[in-house]
Amino acid sequence: MRRQGYVRSPGVGETIDWARALAALHRTLLDPETIDQTLGCVLKEPADISRFRQHPLSPNPRPLLDRVG
């Protein structure tokens, strides 16, 4: 998301806010509904939210805790 050229690219603080929201909702997948419900945590500008909704990064649900490495 940080490389998409948004008006206000998400930083570390927004990423932490989003993670906290996902944890509070007990979500384990980034499915379209979950992303839509929590998008305001990571993108603060209405224009960025609108742009993301028109062109999401991926339509497929992804596990939040993918193995790294």
60, part of any domain: no
Q: What pLDDT sits at residue 67?
A: 45
pTM of the predicted model as reported, rounded to 2 decimal places: 0.70
Q: Are 15 and 42 in contact (CB under 8 A)?
A: yes
- pLDDT at residue 22 above 80? yes
Beta bridge mates, 63: 29
Nearest in space to 5 (alpha carbons), one of 41, 57, 40: 57
pLDDT (tens digit per residue) in 28-68: 888 888 988 999 999 999 999 998 888 876 555 555 555 44
Position 33 in a domain = yes
**Domain carrying residue 48:** 12-54
Question: Sign of the CA dihedral 48, 53, 59, 60?
Answer: positive
Q: What's the number of domains the chain is made of?
A: 1
User: How far is it, in rounded angstroms, from Cα 31 to Cα 40?
Assistant: 15
Residue 62 lies in a domain: no
3-20 per-position pLDDT tens digit:
788 899 899 999 899 999
Neighbours of 34 (CB within 10 A): 17
pLDDT for position 42: 92
